[in-house]
């Protein structure tokens, strides 16, 4: 019997949603991969940089993040921004982490936002997340595995500069030197996002 590849699934929220948490921890299953689940409670007074510096975030393969995470009044950062905007920042720092955004405001196909379960519907939260969230997580895991397979091929390709290959593989494995991306750079990105709205 072959050993299943490990996938780190991380849920980030400042106010944990019990239904999401229960589904991810108890019900979500992958037949093909060994999925390890973790939760991070975001503390707004520490700012978004605390997530970029978090070893749990750096080692994640798939992150589920609340859309309104950075919009409450306790957030210490210049301006407010959404989970989908943070997804772009995270993509710059950790390009191989798949990020899913979930919101209580319902679906937004333009930004690929997944709606949270609403109590009072005809299905249970488990049935709802099995229908709405499972496929999204499965697709994200497939993309992670694809990148892993490509990285193995890259490592064996002698025609590519070794430094580039190492940077790409390190990034895939959650090892990032993002000293070239300062807090000011990230703040400029946030301003640019807000000006587009």
Q: What are phi and psi of 29, to 5 degrees?
A: -130, 145
Q: How many beta carbons lie within 10 A of that of residue 18, not counting itself?
A: 8
* Rounded (5°) CA angle 78-81-82: 160
Q: Is 110 exposed, middle or buried (0-12, 13-18, 19+ CB in 10 A)?
A: exposed
Looking only at the bridges linking them, the beta strands covering 62-66 and 113-115 are unpaired
Instruction: Write down the pTM of the prediction.
Output: 0.78
Q: What is the pLDDT of residues 3-56, one digit of tens each?
A: 888 999 999 988 889 999 999 999 998 888 999 999 998 887 777 788 888 899
Q: What is the pLDDT of residues 139-196, one digit of tens each?
A: 999 999 988 888 777 777 776 677 666 766 666 666 665 445 556 655 655 565 555 5
Q: What is the mean pLDDT of residues 89-100?
A: 87
Alpha-carbon distance of 88 to 90, in angstroms, equals: 5
């Amino acid at each position: 019997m072959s050993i299943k590849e490990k996938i780190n699934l991380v849920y980030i929220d400042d106010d944990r949603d019990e239904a999401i948490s229960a589904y991810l921890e108890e019900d979500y299953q992958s037949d093909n991969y060994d999925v390890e689940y973790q939760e991070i409670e975001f503390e707004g007074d520490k700012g978004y940089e605390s997530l970029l510096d978090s070893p749990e975030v750096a080692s994640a393969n798939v992150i589920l993040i609340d859309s309104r995470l950075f919009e409450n009044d306790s957030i210490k950062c210049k301006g407010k921004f959404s989970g989908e905007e943070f997804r772009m920042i995270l993509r710059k720092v950790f390009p191989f982490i798949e990020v899913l955004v979930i919101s209580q405001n319902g679906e937004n196909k333009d930004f690929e936002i997944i709606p949270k379960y609403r109590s009072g519907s005809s299905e249970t939260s488990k049935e709802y997340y099995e229908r709405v969230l499972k496929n999204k997580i499965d697709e994200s895991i497939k993309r992670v595995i694809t990148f892993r397979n490509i990285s193995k091929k890259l490592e064996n390709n002698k025609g590519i500069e070794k430094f580039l290959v190492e940077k790409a593989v390190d990034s895939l494995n959650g090892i990032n030197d993002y000293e070239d991306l300062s807090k000011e750079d990230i703040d400029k990105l946030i301003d640019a996002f807000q000006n587009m709205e």
